[in-house]
Amino acid sequence: MLKIGVLASHEGTTLQCILDACASGLIQGQVVVVISNNGGAGALSRARAAGVPAHHLSSATHPTQDTLDAAISAALAANQVDVVFLAGYLKRVGPATLAAFRGRILNTHPALLPKFGGQGMFGDHVFEAVLASGESDSGVSVHLVDDDYDTGRVIRQVRVPVETKDCVESLKARVRKCERDVVVETLAAIATGELRLAGEG
């Protein structure tokens, strides 16, 4: 069984998809810990409702970046996490966590990287940039996390056509729906060994 650690900042809708897919057997694994930088995050409530250990770890709990990074890495290690998934986690992963889980930390991005990625490219900013560019396709990228924003190796991409009548909300709705499917498919492939991550990055 694949042991998944999830880092999330907000409501946890992607986390819920992962929890549901594990419960139904679509993913041969389980979420063993959820960490959020936001003490009021819906993700923490969803984790607790599912009986998953949930931790608020942030500058409010650990005033220096080094101690916070160490606490996150320790919580993941204590739960023997195989793969770390960033599900709407808006903080940079620290060097201790990156080193401990190098090649096993994944993130999704709501565009076709390397386009429309990098610092500041999150949330509606991405969809606004895609529409302003006139691109005919957007999509979802799943990539390994490294020391910078959205620069790690892309391991899976799915295209989502941009329609002529699209606004930010309509494009976002289609990309987010696709994103949830891609997350489940990617973790399912890792769990069965179809997609191998260890030692890569």
User: What residues act catalytically?
Assistant: 109
Residue 9 half-sphere exposure, CB side, CA atoms within 13 Å? 11
Using CB atoms within 10 Å of the CB of residue 73, give its burial: 0 to 12 exposed, 13 to 18 middle, 19+ buried.
buried
Distance from the first to the final alpha carbon of the chain: 22
Please name the residues in contact with 97: beta carbons below 8 A apart, sequence gap of 6 or more. 69, 72, 73, 76, 84, 105
CA dist., res. 159 & res. 138, Å (int): 6
Using CB atoms within 10 Å of the CB of residue 47, give its burial: 0 to 12 exposed, 13 to 18 middle, 19+ buried.
buried
Token code pair at residue 24: 């139904």
